Structure 1
Amino acid sequence: MKEVFVVADNVVSPIGKTATENFEQLKKGVSGIEQHNNNFSEQPVYVSLFKENVFVKENKYTRFEQLVIASVEDALSQTDLDVINNNKTIFILSSTKGNISLLETETFDEALKEKISLPHSAKIVADHFKLANKPLIVSHACISGVLALTTAMRLLNAGLYENAIVTGADIITKFIFSGFASFQAISNEPCRPFDAERKGVTLGEAAGTIILSTNKAYSKTGIQLCGGSVSNDANHISGPSRTGEELYSAITHSLAEANMKAEEIGFISAHGTATVYNDEMEAKAFDLAGMNEIPTNSLKGYYGHTLGAAGIIESVMSLHSLNENIILPTKGFLNLGVSKNLHICSTLEKGNYSSFLKTASGFGGCNAAVVFRKS
């Protein structure tokens, strides 16, 4: 089985257009979450949004497609990897809703039906970069980004491809906001993951890209993606497991694939949506895994929940944390508000870290986990 290495990465968000810019902002405690007056809600709402026209390129691309292209373009600029007409490279797009916002502004017909499909957007991006292979779509609620990374790792492990460009992106629209609002899950303040006073999720828009390769020569850091797993609660269409056993299963299978023990993990990048049930479920899963003392953070207080981009951008920021041997604090966290004792980082922590675990959970009871480590 071939090893998989991180070659390059990117994050395009309201606080930066590159991974380095984003990481520097996070170290300063800068968040993209602001109160906005818009058509999402009759009342002002907290959300992390791009300023208008921040990444406009060509009118032939939608706002969503422009965001994906900008992220891939920056990641590719950091590597010598030649992807043009390279049949050994696969492009994987992770998103929950893609161009769904066009339903709010355009007449629904056959042309629009195609335009809002994720395969259509992925093909447009692949054609832009002259990628030889048909792209793959991963759209599996809020685990999409982590699942896309696992999918890429599997394809590279098996030798089907040598390189993978994995991009996650979503933009926030009235359609998406209203869906979360219907669950009464939107916080009336910036989200506070794992905190006793948390009031719900804050949404955000962003894109992130991680380029992977089986050729270590392309990797500047030598960090490997070495384990991944998914599971399902079979509990409820929107509510997560009450026991955490299913996320625990994904965690243990990821660790087993990485040939690591729980205590060897340096830190955990949790899903941490700041909803009552998600944070509690994750806490129980970490407790079952014996990971209570491992430093844990959530980056939702900086970006909001970026849906199909979340697993990617949070992995990218954790990769930079691993490189610098620091753990970013959980913005908004003051007092532990879950039933299990966890080590939630409230300040920037320094140490000697060799690996991290990234988790995600989503509607439909889905869970996912991946392990990255220094080789």
Structure 2
Amino acid sequence: MTAAAITGLGLVSPYGHGTEVFWQKLLTGDPVTEPSPTSPATAGEPVARVPPAGETGATPRKQTWAREALAEALRAAGRAELPPTALLVIAGSTPCLPHPTSPHAASPLPDEVSGPDLRDYFGGARVYVTHACASAAFAMALAQQCVTGGTADIVAVVGASVLNPYDYSSMDVVRAVSPTGARPFDTTRDGITVGEGAGAVILEPAGGRRRGPLLAGASCRVGGGSASASDDETIAACMRDALAQGRERSRVHPGRLGYVHAHATGTPQGDAAELLALEGVARELGIHDLPSGSHKGAIGHLLHSSAFPGLVAAVNALRDGIAPPTAGLETPEPTERVHLLRRPHRIARDSTALVNGFGFGGSNASLLIAPS
């Protein structure tokens, strides 16, 4: 079975425009937040917004950012555009649908909650993937299957999230939003910071015209003990399965795991379950010091697009041999085998990295990244 290579990455985040801008600022560990203007009921709580970069307002921000991220990913892959044979996988909350009374009218849904509309950008085959805050991770798993199974010779995964009262209220009503700012894995954590941005990934068969790190494993599971929080057994099962796929498909030994970019949003229950799963997997692999961290204390939680910054962080960590710190982490939870990072940490460049992504409704995913 042909392995899948990540030949291009693109990102728009509250740190700025571009993957390298995000990576360099993430290494500093400084958060980017401001008081929320989203609604009168929640104004004042911190959020993370994308800094402007010449937007005219003529095109909705979600469309602008999705196109920008895809353009960056294509440049990195050495392509000017997607070929007609490509598959476009859009990670989002809802497709941009035709108006119910007129197929030529605009979508009745607000741009903030509909998926980015790229029909004028690419007219080929497309599919939408929706799995709450694990949407982008599930989309990556589908893309991997299409590449390794020969369904498509190139797949682009794209997603975007814009701060809006609808998504914000859905987080606030379940008391998931922190009034002071996300502190993943911290003993005083009390919720998430909502962020915004967009990402894109180009996947192609490994060994082709362009080289890149391998998406060596991708495990997705729907299930768990709660509709609003993942449980440690399901999280651990995803990580084990992704590692097993890496061994079977790409001959990547599970013991090479050198970094986990955790989902870790800063909620008490979610972080506790993930940390318990990390400890269990590290124990099974005989790893005594597993570096782990999250970007969500720095740029917030991009909801259904949250896996894109995680992928950029993991790929660059392996490229540079350094794992980034977790912004907001001051008093880490006690651990035995997991090293919760408060500052940049050296890792082996020939190691592998897991990227975790979880969502409401029992959506759980783990992606294994390996050097080419």
TM-score, reference length from structure 1: 0.88
8 Å CA contact retained: 1:10, 1:72: yes
Deviation track 1:30-64 (CA, whole Å, cap 9, x = no partner) reads 3322233443635411000134x5463672x4322
8 Å CA contact retained: 1:225, 1:372: yes
Q: Identical aligned pairs, as a percentage?
A: 22
CA distance in 2, matches of 1:63, 1:109: 26
CA distance in 1, matches of 2:93, 2:335: 31
CA distance in 2, matches of 1:29, 1:97: 33
CA distance in 1, matches of 2:56, 2:89: 22
SS of residue paired to 2:172: helix
8 Å CA contact retained: 1:224, 1:374: yes
RMSD: 2.7
Which of residues 257, 268, 271 in structure 1 aligns to 2:245? Answer: 257
CA offset at residue 337 of structure 1? 2.8
Deviation track 1:257-307 (CA, whole Å, cap 9, x = no partner) reads 100454320100000011011001101211222356310011101111101
Q: Which runs of structure 2 are paired with 1:1-375 in the superposition (5 Å)? A: 1-39=1-39, 41-51=41-51, 54=53, 56=55, 59=58, 61-81=59-79, 83-87=81-85, 89-96=86-93, 111=105, 113-114=107-108, 121=115, 124-128=117-121, 131-220=122-211, 222-241=212-231, 244-259=232-247, 260-290=252-282, 293-337=289-333, 342-353=338-349, 354-375=351-372
8 Å CA contact retained: 2:139, 2:157: yes
CA distance in 1, matches of 2:36, 2:2: 47
8 Å CA contact retained: 2:93, 2:113: no
The amino acid that maps onto 2:167 is: I
CA distance in 2, matches of 1:78, 1:341: 36
CA distance in 1, matches of 2:276, 2:269: 11
In 2 relative to 1, CA 13–329 (structure 1 residues): closer, same or farther, beyond 3 Å?
Answer: same
In 2 relative to 1, CA 273–322 (structure 1 residues): closer, same or farther, beyond 3 Å?
Answer: same
CA distance in 1, matches of 2:343, 2:57: 41
8 Å CA contact retained: 2:74, 2:82: no
8 Å CA contact retained: 1:283, 1:338: no
8 Å CA contact retained: 1:46, 1:202: yes
CA offset at residue 162 of structure 1? 0.9
CA offset at residue 71 of structure 1? 1.1
- Which residue of structure 2 lines up, in the alignment, with residue 103 of structure 1? none
The structure in which a higher percent of residues are helix is 1
TM-score, reference length from structure 2: 0.88
8 Å CA contact retained: 2:244, 2:254: no
Deviation track 1:49-85 (CA, whole Å, cap 9, x = no partner) reads 134x5463672x4322122111112222233236454
CA distance in 2, matches of 1:119, 1:368: 22
CA distance in 2, matches of 1:319, 1:179: 31
8 Å CA contact retained: 1:170, 1:207: yes
In 2 relative to 1, CA 340–94 (structure 1 residues): closer, same or farther, beyond 3 Å?
Answer: farther
SS of residue paired to 2:160: strand
8 Å CA contact retained: 2:233, 2:277: yes
Deviation track 1:319-345 (CA, whole Å, cap 9, x = no partner) reads 111111100001111223367652111
CA offset at residue 95 of structure 1? 1.6
For structure 2, the residue ranges without an aligned partner over 5 or more in a row are none
In 2 relative to 1, CA 108–161 (structure 1 residues): closer, same or farther, beyond 3 Å?
Answer: closer
8 Å CA contact retained: 1:359, 1:369: yes
For structure 1, the residue ranges without an aligned partner over 5 or more in a row are 101-106
8 Å CA contact retained: 1:209, 1:313: no
Q: Which moved more, 1:363-372 or 1:207-216?
A: 207-216
CA offset at residue 121 of structure 1? 4.9
8 Å CA contact retained: 2:185, 2:333: yes
CA offset at residue 183 of structure 1? 1.1
In 2 relative to 1, CA 163–197 (structure 1 residues): closer, same or farther, beyond 3 Å?
Answer: same
SS of residue paired to 2:214: strand
SS of residue paired to 1:335: coil
8 Å CA contact retained: 2:13, 2:50: yes
SS of residue paired to 2:226: coil
Instruction: Count residues with an aligned counterpart.
Output: 360
8 Å CA contact retained: 1:98, 1:170: no
In 2 relative to 1, CA 84–297 (structure 1 residues): closer, same or farther, beyond 3 Å?
Answer: closer
CA offset at residue 316 of structure 1? 1.2
